[in-house]
Structure 1
Amino acid sequence: MDRRLLVLALGMFALGTDSFVVAGVLPAVAKSFDIGIGAAGQMTTVYAVTLALLAPTIAALAAHVPRKRLLLAGLGVFVLANLGTAIAPSFAIALATRALAGLGAAMFFPTATGSAASIVPPEKRGAALSIVATGMTVSTALGAPIGTLIGGLGDWHWTMVFVAALAALSGLGVLAFLSHIPMPPAVSLGQRLAPLADARVGLTLTTTFLFFTAAFTIYTYFAAVFGRATGHDPAKLAALLVAWGAAGTVANLWSGRLVDAVGSRKVLAAMLAMVLADFLFLPSTSAALWSAFPAAILWGACGWGSSVPQQHRIVGIAPQIAPIILGLNNSAVFLGTTAAGLVGAAGIQVLGADRLGYLAAALVAAAMIVSELADRRIDAAKAAGTPDRPAPAPVAMPEEARA
């Protein structure tokens, strides 16, 4: 195993842990700052929206900055921001440090994926990207539960120190092992956003946005939704998070084979339908631990498993500029996470945490409708012989294109 890739994967693990761990310590955060659970959820919202909006912007503006310097700068900002959250004297300052953490993540995220593809031979680039991406996926099964357990057994402030320590270790690895990273060709922000002019791309990305809004409406308030089942015991909550994350990790591995066998359209429709049913029954299944585990496993497997057929469909729309559209899809994921914090907070006020599943199910239903509209557009374009490449297309490929 190339240790340079492991270093980058560790950085992605830290970023992913920071994305998911707040949900596990949300009640403690709310109590610490004497605020409601919905308000505390905005810590996830601020981090996600900053990452979503700044990742493509920084990738364009910092195209001429040496990759190692950008990686170290991103991790440095990320470490300081999480330590700042740990010692924040007020909720307003905590929100500001979460935004700063999003900035650091936006500097590291696209740079790490592009660097992974550029430091290995062409025949190993796919494996390199898979290793780095696994860091983010594994964070759902290990990083978030460990951070939740640390916060439950000690104090949530130590959870943020744990995240900062992970990023610091990655930074030391970058400093020691990544001596030279080739520079990518520059692509402007306008060129990165150009594919949005294609309705097929717009509808497909809207599906991503709606689905992840639904999924993270539940996840952001995970501790509150499953509070009846866990009795707010940090060990039980961490176990539920492990089950959710592990199911998602496994599903990511086998869903690609399903797509190859029956096509992305059928796989995506089936997984969205199962998540819809899961969320509709969540007000009942989240009441007891014996039923909460199957609900979390089904949600984790089908929720994360749906990412593969969705990405497969996106690549099929415009394979020539797939890295750019996949980058837009990542932004749609984090924008959905952002919206989820707001939607979930409002849902708790109106419906209560126990019935949040109904609201999430409605959003999944909307995602299914938009997904079908996207497929019809794609089919119509194929029947009409429309070229794959959306117009206007970028004139150069971004750093991710080295994959």
Structure 2
Amino acid sequence: MDKRLLVLACGMFAIGTDSFVVSGLLRQVSVSLGVSIALAGQMVTVFALSYALLSPVVAAAAAHWPRKRLLLAGLAVLVVGDILTAVAPTIKLVLASRLLSGLAAAMFSPTASATAASLAVPEQRGRALSIVITGLSCGTAFGAPLGVFVGGLLDWRATMWFAAGLGTLAWTGVALLLSDTPSAPVVDLARRLAPLRDTRVVLTLLTILLVFTGLFIVHTYIDPSFDRVTGGNQGILAALLLLRGVAATAGSLVAGRLTDRFGSRGIINAAAAILFLDFALLPWTSTSLTTAAPALVVWGLFGWGLLVPQQLRLIGITPSAAPLLLGLNQTAIYLAVSASGVLGGAAVTWFDHHTLGIISAVFIGAGLVTSELAHRHIIRSHGSMTSSAAIPSGNIP
């Protein structure tokens, strides 16, 4: 395996850890800074919103930068943002620092994917991209639970120092082991957003926006949502997050093969339907470890397993615009994360926080509807090729 790809994967591991570790620390942040859990949850919102809105802007504005310089700058900003979070005395400064960390993710993540593709020969680019993306999923699966465990042993500020340490290690690896690569072709912001004029693209992106808003409403406030199981014990919460992370990794790996066999429509709709039931039952399954653990496994398997068929559906709409479409898909995911912080914060303020799963299920159900609408528009665009005889069902996105 090309060591340069491993370096990029390590950077994505740091980004993934930084993105998702905060959700397991909200109770500690709330007590430490004397604010509500809902306000502490906006740490997730500002990070995700910063990433979602700035990612296409950074890609257009810094397209002429050498990739190595942009990667190093992104990791440096990430480390600075984490250190500022670790020492910030007020929630306002904490939120400002998370905004800075979101900018770092917007600088690093898309650049890492583009660099991985440029380092591989055309027939191996898919494998190269999968290695880098695995770094992100491993950050979610293992880095975030480890950070929560560190917070349980010490405090949430120690976790942010831990995240800064990961960023520093990744920066060192990129600086020492990655040779400079040419800057990417310049693509202005208008061209990057051009696919949004296609109804099929909009409905497909709306599907991931709605489903992931549902998933992350509970994820952002997972500490209070599962407090009847954890009893406030960060070690138990870290173990549950690890279990879900392992399931998410397995779901991502299996989803590709299933999508090749059954097509995107079947996998997306089946995953969304199962997630709808899983989250609708969370107010009851989150009461004990014997039911909470399977619920989290289902969440991990089908939540992250949804991403592969979603991406393949987008690529199938306009293959020539695949990089732009996948970038918009990432933006939709992080918009969902930012929306979930606001919506979940309102829900825990107005309702019993153990009922968040029902609110999530409403969004997931809406995503199932838009998924089917997207499929119908895609089929309609095929014109005379809509019959199953002309197009094998497994190839219909």
TM-score, normalised to structure 2, is 0.96
CA shift at 1:261, angstroms? 1.0
Deviation at 1:122, TM superposition (A): 2.7
Q: How does 1:3-402 map to 2 (within 5 A)?
A: 3-383=3-383
Q: Are the counterparts in 2 of residues 140 and 246 from structure 1 also a CA contact under 8 Å?
A: no
Q: State the Cα distance separating 1:352 from its structure 2 match.
A: 1.6
Cα distance in 1, alignment partners of residues 384 and 152 from structure 2: 58
Query: Structure 2: how far apart are the matches of 1:343 and 1:62?
Result: 33
Q: C-alpha displacement at 1:104, in angstroms?
A: 1.1
2:99 partner letter: A
The one-character-per-residue Cα deviations of 1:298-350 (angstroms, maximum 9, x if unpaired) are 01111010111111111111111111101100000000000000110111122
Letter in 2 for 1:288: S
How far off is 1:232 after superposition?
1.2
Contact 2:66/2:180 (8 A) holds in 1: no
1:178: Cα distance to partner? Answer: 1.2
Q: Which of structure 1's runs of 4+ aligned residues deviate more than 4 A?
A: none
Gaps of 5+ in 1: 387-403
- Aligned match of 2:394: none
* In structure 2, C-alpha distance between the alignment counterparts of 1:271 and 1:179, rounded to whole Å: 41
Deviations 1:228-261, CA, capped at 9 Å, x for gaps: 0111111110110011111010010011111111
- The one-letter code sitting in structure 2 at the alignment partner of 1:346 is A
Runs of 5+ consecutive residues of structure 2 not aligned to the other structure: 387-397
3-state DSSP of counterpart to 1:194: helix
Shift of 1:40: 0.5
- For the residues of structure 2 that align with 1:213 and 1:384, how far apart are their CA atoms? 36
Counterpart in the other structure of 1:398: none
Percent of aligned pairs sharing the same letter? 50
TM-score, normalised relative to structure 1: 0.94
CA distance in 1: counterparts of 2:120 and 2:385, whole angstroms: 37
How far has the Cα of 1:289 moved from its partner?
1.1
Compute the displacement of 1:181 (Å): 1.0
Q: Is the 8 A contact 1:147 1:162 kept in 2?
A: yes
1:384 is displaced (CA, Å) by 6.0
* Distance in 2 separating the partners of 1:307 and 1:122: 23
For residues 218 and 122 of structure 1, the distance between their equivalents in structure 2, rounded to whole angstroms, comes to 40
* Counterpart amino acid of residue 357 in structure 2: G
**CA RMSD in angstroms, aligned pairs only:** 1.1
Q: Distance in 1 between matches of 2:351 and 2:183?
A: 51
Do the aligned residues in 2 keep the contact of 1:119 with 1:182 (CA within 8 Å)?
Answer: no
Matches of 1:363 and 1:350, distance apart in 2: 18
Q: Give the match's secondary structure for 2:4.
A: helix
Amino acid at match of 2:156: W
Distance 1:19 1:8 in 2: 16
Rounded to whole Å, the distance in 1 between the matches of 2:313 and 2:9 is 26
| SS in structure 2 of the partner of residue 183 of structure 1 | coil
* Equivalent-residue separation in structure 2 for 1:86 and 1:384 (angstroms): 59
| Cα offsets for 1:44-96 (capped at 9, x unmatched) | 00000000111111011111111111111111111001000000011000000
Letter in 2 for 1:207: T
CA displacement at 1:19 relative to structure 2: 1.0
Larger deviation, residues 332-341 vs 134-143: 134-143
Tell me how far apart the structure 1 counterparts of residues 121 and 194 of structure 2 sit (CA, whole Å).
Answer: 30
Render the CA deviation track for 1:96-126: whole Å, top value 9, x for unaligned. 0000011111111111111111123333222
Give the aligned residue type for 2:78.
Answer: F
> Partners of 2:262 and 2:142 in 1: how far apart?
31
| Alpha-carbon distance in 2 for matches of 1:71, 1:384 | 46
Secondary structure of the corresponding residue to residue 184 of structure 1: coil
For the 8 Å contact 2:38–2:345, the answer to whether it is kept is: yes
Alpha-carbon distance in structure 2 between the residues aligned to 1:262 and 1:116: 29
Partner letter of residue 289 of structure 2? L
Give me the whole-angstrom Cα distance separating, in 2, the residues matched to 1:150 and 1:223. Answer: 15
State how many pairs are aligned: 386
Displacement of 1:385: 7.3
Q: C-alpha distance in 1, partners of 2:325/2:260?
A: 21
Paired with 1:53 and 1:82, the residues of 2 have a C-alpha distance of: 20
Shift of 1:183: 2.2
Give, as a single letter, the amino acid of the residue that structure 2 aligns with 1:352: D
